[in-house]
Structures are given as C-alpha cells and as structure tokens.
C-alpha cells in the first residue's frame, strides 16, 4: 500500500486524491484518502508533511487582501488539521525546521554556484567600485540563494534588504535610475515580486480557490516547486520583519 501514491508515468498526478486534497488544503478529503490507504506509507507521509508545512508558511502571511480573509481563515484551519493528523501518524523530528530549510534552499531562484554577477549583471568588485556596500550586495546574493544562515548573520551585522543595487550607476543615481525604468535591484522588491508570481502565475491561488469551491484542477508540474519557493520567500520575509522590528524601523512588507 502506498498511501494513494501511484508512480506510473502514465497516470495524471491530478488524479491522486491524497496529493490534491493536500495541495488544496481539503482536510476531510485528505484524511479520508489517507485512511483508505491504511496509513502505511510513512516515508511518503513525511514528504507530504513538508509540502503541507510549506503551505502553512504561505498561509501564515498576514498581508493578504481584506476580501480574501474568509478564505484564508478556512484554508489555515484545514491546513492545521492536515498537519496535526499527519503528526499523529509519524514522529516529527526535533530538527524538522533545520531539515525543512535545507529542503527549501533547493528551490531558491539561484543555485549555490551562481554569484551576484549572474543575478544583476555586475560583479561584487564592480558594485563596490560603484559605491555600493559589500554587506548589502552579500545580503542580496544570500537571499536569492535561500542561504538563510548567511541572511541572518548579515542582517544582524547591519545589511539593508531595502538597499537598491545597479550594475550601471552608483548609489547617488539610483533614484534617477528607478524613474527611468533602468535595471535596479532590491532584495525586498525581489522577494515581493517573486512571491506574488508564485501565488498568481504559478497557480497557488488558483489551486486553493478551486479547493474551496470543491473543483478539480489539473496539477501543474510547477505547483509544488512554486509552493516550496513561496515558503522560502516567507521565511525571508519573517527574518527581515523581525530584524526591522528589533531596530524599530518601519516594516517593509
């Protein structure tokens, strides 16, 4: 028994009741599908727990538009039931958060081999010569790689996620570059833009909406990676918010 999972390449994963109920936060349907499979696939359950936890991090954001709050509250409640149910089936390791962040880092916008020149078109040395602070450049690179440990250390050391970087001009000319629609990069802006893309373009919101309406959707291959990536951006947002609060600064998002 495989908890409803079918590894057949010919089978549409959208037909997997267990997976679709999880992705759509339909607690009753998820528990029913899992019990039908006799709860014997414990390794699979842990993987599903990680996906559900990523959903939790996204839903925990408090910046959702007011009109969507009734749906968010329902999704949160069902997501909690799913997580609690799975936690009753398997032991969740004490270092789950550490393991989860390692998993999430694999879904960052850039890989460990990429440097800031790949990201914005100028090397670290070139950016420093233009007048940008090395610590702000390092924070941008660490954030876009989901190097959460480095992000934490850099924020504590005074790196600014609100700093704008440009491959073409120095800090004094960034405002003009922004008005001219030139290429200018800021970690806060990148987080918000890419997170919004995960929700609206990659199909997270559509998946949740269909679940609330009881509608079946075709599972996009991009959906689970998008959920993991969006969760990574939520981790970054929380780290930045916490840092801003400690320094009594206005929250960026």
Q: Which residue in the block uniquely carries the two structure tokens 């320094």?
A: 247
pLDDT tens for each residue of 108-164: 999 999 999 999 999 999 999 999 999 999 999 999 999 999 999 999 999 999 999
Q: Is residue 231 part of a domain?
A: yes
Residues 20 and 123 in one domain: no
Q: How far apart are CA 86 and CA 74, in angstroms?
A: 19
Q: Is residue 9 part of a domain?
A: yes
pLDDT tens for each residue of 197-215: 999 999 999 999 999 999 9
pLDDT tens for each residue of 21-78: 999 999 999 999 998 877 555 558 999 999 999 999 999 988 888 888 999 999 999 9
Residues 126 and 13 in one domain: no
Number of domains making up the chain: 2
Angle (deg, nearest 10), helices 42-59 and 96-105: 80
Q: Is residue 195 part of a domain?
A: yes
What's the pLDDT at 160? Answer: 96
Q: Is residue 103 part of a domain?
A: no
Who has greater pLDDT, 217 or 3? 217
Residues 81 and 135 in one domain: no
Residues 76 and 169 in one domain: no
**What domain range is 202 assigned to?**
108-253
Instruction: Check pLDDT > 70 for residue 231.
Output: yes
Residues 253 and 161 in one domain: yes
State the average pLDDT over residues 225-240: 97
Q: Which two tokens stand for residue 108?
A: 């960052």
Q: Is residue 98 part of a domain?
A: no
What's the pLDDT at 5? Answer: 44
Residue 213: how many CB atoms within 10 A of its CB? 9
Q: How far apart are CA 198 and CA 228, in angstroms?
A: 9
Q: Which residue in the block uniquely carries the two structure tokens 């006799």?
A: 38
Residues 88 and 113 in one domain: no
* 103, 231 Cβ separation under 8 angstroms: no
Residues 214 and 189 in one domain: yes
Residues 83 and 201 in one domain: no
Residues 57 and 7 in one domain: yes
Out of 92, 125, 140, pick the residue that ends a domain: 92
Who has greater pLDDT, 70 or 15? 70
Q: Is residue 253 part of a domain?
A: yes
Residues 60 and 112 in one domain: no
Residues 82 and 122 in one domain: no
Q: Is residue 102 part of a domain?
A: no
What's the pLDDT at 14? Answer: 59
Q: What is the DSSP string of 82-137?
A: HHHHHHHHSPPPTTHHHHHHHHHHTTSSS-TT--HHHHHSS-HHHHHHHT--HHHH
Q: Which two tokens stand for residue 138?
A: 């390092």
């Amino acid at each position: 028994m495989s908890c409803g999972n079918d590894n057949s390449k010919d089978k549409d994963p959208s037909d997997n009741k267990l997976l679709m109920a999880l992705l759509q936060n339909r607690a009753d349907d998820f528990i029913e599908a899992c019990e039908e499979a006799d709860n014997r696939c414990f390794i699979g359950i842990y993987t599903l727990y990680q996906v559900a936890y990523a959903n939790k991090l996204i839903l925990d954001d408090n910046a959702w538009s007011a009109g969507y709050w009734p749906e968010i509250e329902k999704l949160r409640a069902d997501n909690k039931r799913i997580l609690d149910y799975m936690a009753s089936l398997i032991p969740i390791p004490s270092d789950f958060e550490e393991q989860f962040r390692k998993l999430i880092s694999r879904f960052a916008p850039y890989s460990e081999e990429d440097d800031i020149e790949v990201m914005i078109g100028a090397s670290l040395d070139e950016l420093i010569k233009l007048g940008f602070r090395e610590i702000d450049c390092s924070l941008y690179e660490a954030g876009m790689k989901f190097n959460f440990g480095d992000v934490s250390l850099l924020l504590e050391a005074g790196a600014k996620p609100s700093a704008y970087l440009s491959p073409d001009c120095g800090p004094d000319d960034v405002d003009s570059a922004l008005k001219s629609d030139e290429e200018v990069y800021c970690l806060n802006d990148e987080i918000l833009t890419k997170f919004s893309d995960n929700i609206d373009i990659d199909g997270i919101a559509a998946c949740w909406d269909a679940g609330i309406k009881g509608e079946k959707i075709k599972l996009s291959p991009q959906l689970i990676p998008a959920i993991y990536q969006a969760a990574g951006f939520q981790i970054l947002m929380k780290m930045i918010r916490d840092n801003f609060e400690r320094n009594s600064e206005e929250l960026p998002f």
